[in-house]
Amino acid sequence: MHVSNLLLPLLTLSVTAPAAVSALHINPHHKKALSTLTTNQQAKRDGSVPSTHKNKVKRLVKKKKRGTCQVKFNATSVATEPTASSTSAEVLPTLTNNENWANATASATQTWGDNTASASASASASSTSSAGNSQSTSSWSKVEEWSGDSFFDNVNFWEWNDPTHGTVDYLNRGDAWNSGLISINANKRAVMAVDTTQVVSGGRKSIRIHGNRIYTGGLIIMDAYHMPTGCGTWPAWWSNGPNWPEGGEIDIFEGVNDFGQNQVSLHTGNGCTMPNNMNDNQVGQLTTGGYDSYNCASYATSNQGCGVRDEVTQNAYGESFNAIGGGVYATRWSKAGITVWFFPRTNIPSDITNDSPEPSGWGKPMAHFPSDNCNPYQFFYDHFNIFDTTLCGDWAGADGVWNYAGYAGQSQSCASKTGYATCADYVLNQGSAFAEAFWEVSYVKYFNSTTEV
Binding of residue 103 to ligand NAG (CB under 6 A): yes
Binding of residue 217 to ligand NAG (CB under 6 A): yes
Residues 207 and 192 sit within 8 Å (Cβ to Cβ): yes
The residue of the chain with the least Cβ separation from ligand NAG equals: 218
Stretch that binds ligand NAG, among 59-67, 70-78, 146-154, 363-371 (CB under 6 A): 70-78
Residues 91 and 304 sit within 8 Å (Cβ to Cβ): no
Dist CA 230 CA 34 (whole Å): 22
CB of 216 to ligand NAG, least distance (A): 4
CA distances from 363 to 339, 343, 366, 394 (A): 11, 11, 9, 35
Binding of residue 76 to ligand NAG (CB under 6 A): yes
Q: Pick one of 105, 154, 212, 389: the residue that binds ligand NAG (CB under 6 A).
A: 105
| 365 Cβ contact list (under 8 Å, min separation 6) | 130, 281, 282, 283, 339, 340, 341
Catalytic residue check, 311: no
Q: Pick one of 215, 234, 362, 369: the residue that binds ligand NAG (CB under 6 A).
A: 215
Dist CA 382 CA 242 (whole Å): 7
Binding of residue 117 to ligand NAG (CB under 6 A): yes
Q: Which amino acid is at 279?
A: N
Binding of residue 163 to ligand NAG (CB under 6 A): no
CA distances from 375 to 5, 125, 332, 440 (A): 26, 10, 14, 34
Binding of residue 96 to ligand NAG (CB under 6 A): no
Under rule CB under 6 A, which residues in 339-398 are in contact with ligand NAG? Answer: none
Residues 17 and 75 sit within 8 Å (Cβ to Cβ): yes
Residues 135 and 351 sit within 8 Å (Cβ to Cβ): no
Q: Pick one of 118, 187, 356, 403: the residue that binds ligand NAG (CB under 6 A).
A: 118
Q: Pick one of 41, 216, 293, 390: the residue that binds ligand NAG (CB under 6 A).
A: 216
Active-site annotation holder among 159, 254, 358, 440: 254
Binding of residue 246 to ligand NAG (CB under 6 A): yes
Active-site residue list: 249, 254
Residues that bind ligand NAG (CB under 6 A): 70, 72, 74, 76-77, 103, 105, 113-115, 117-118, 143, 215-218, 242-243, 246, 446, 448, 453
